[in-house]
Amino acid sequence: MKTTSILDKSIHVCLYIFAIGTMISKAITSFAGGLVVLLWVSKMIIIRDKELKPDPLKWPMAGLFIAVAFSGLDVMDNTTLTEIGTVGLLILFYYAVVNTVNDLKLVRNLSLVSLISLIVASIYGIYQHYYLNYPRVQGFMFSLAFGNVLAMFSIFTLIYLLWGNLNKKKKIYLIFPTILFLVNLLFTKSRGAWLAFLGGTGFLGLIRDRKIILIMLVVLIASFYLLPDSYINRFMSIFDLRNNRSNLGRLALWKGSLLMYRDHFINGVGFGKFSIEYENHYRQPHTATTCHAHNNILQFMAETGSIGLIAFVWLMYSIIKLLYKRYLTIESLNWKLYLLGSLLAVIMFNIQGLTEYNFGDAELNRLFWFLLALNVVIINYFKNSRRVNYNEN
């Protein structure tokens, strides 16, 4: 018991380090996340009772890993093994969090540390814009990933500002990061992140209060009159499918992805093989970069075929369904709002995933699994404490 207690506390320390690094250092999350997995696996080997905590997503996750592994059966090499191993490690990290985080105080603290990490990155983003003259701020990651993270966290802070069971002082404190995140989101000039935020805000209105949609439309219209032309032109370029080089490049990648899927319908070209296959066999005119398909669904279609496509959609559908159902049933307001924020974050993740392969981005992918695990901890807590009426059907 003493050994397992030491291991649990060590894992918790590593999770705090991981939370610190979520927005400022990929190296920190690699180091801390790897230690979390190593310590948890060691604990599972040492203890006799290896029963895992309930996991409502175990089958979709198993399906995803099987699909990824199956895609590489006929083209297995170091690249494929590395990519498959990355997915496996992320799933192990998820299980380590679910099975070692036992109370909501730790969930809250880890979430707050991640929030502070993003505040630091956002302050650096302001410095990049005003003092380093970056055309697109990026914090400590690429602009597209930074924009996605900012959109997700902005929804969280907005939700708690509007409906959180917080005293006036705490709500005042939330105003600063909310404005900071939204300003940085604008400065990223990430069109996919902008669309994700608009989509997430729209879903927030549908779920919580339809007045939000009206306010969003008013703000959007006002923005066309108040913002500099560079931002308006950037937003309008979303709809330019004839001349915009970025759009033409994405269309080329999407066409190549569909051709890969046509030729490798069952299990794809192999996980991690998109770039080399595109370069050698499927390159299209207007292609600027070939690192990935710039679309989560098309990436899975190309690399893992129909099996991977079904597995990916199954996982995302299961996550969204789970979070929405538990949002409706959990009575504690602040934790109810946490699930709502997470639900909208997953929706925004997938909206931006229509124009970017963010499921393959290291920072975003690690944050995705971390946030998902924390939500399952919350769900299990309320289920075990019988504070919510569960209807699994």
Contacts of 323 (CB under 8 A, 6+ apart): 339, 340, 342, 343, 346, 375
**DSSP code, position 48:** S
CA dihedral 283, 288, 294, 297 (to 10 degrees): -10
Rg (CA), the chain: 21
What's the burial of 73, exposed, middle or buried (CB within 10 Å: 0-12/13-18/19+)? exposed
Each residue's pLDDT, cut to its tens digit, for the chain (393 residues) gives 677 889 999 999 999 999 999 999 999 999 999 999 999 999 998 887 678 899 999 999 999 999 999 998 888 888 899 999 999 999 999 999 999 999 999 999 999 999 999 999 999 999 999 999 999 999 999 999 999 999 999 999 999 999 999 999 999 999 999 999 999 999 999 999 999 999 999 999 999 999 999 999 999 999 999 999 999 999 999 999 999 999 999 999 999 999 999 999 999 999 999 999 999 999 999 998 899 999 999 999 999 999 999 999 999 999 999 999 999 999 999 999 999 999 999 999 999 999 999 999 999 999 999 999 999 999 999 987 754 443 433
pTM for this one?
Answer: 0.95
CB 314 within 8 A of CB 70: no
pLDDT tens-digit map of 112-158: 999 999 999 999 999 999 999 999 999 999 999 999 999 999 999 99
Terminal-to-terminal C-alpha distance of the chain: 37
Q: How many CB atoms lie within 10 A of CB 28?
A: 16
In contact, 29 and 363? CB cutoff 8 Å: yes
Q: What HEC string does 282-340 produce?
A: HCCCCCCCCCCCCCHHHHHHHHHHHHHHHHHHHHHHHHHHHHHHHHHHCCCHHHHHHHH
Amino acid at 381: Y
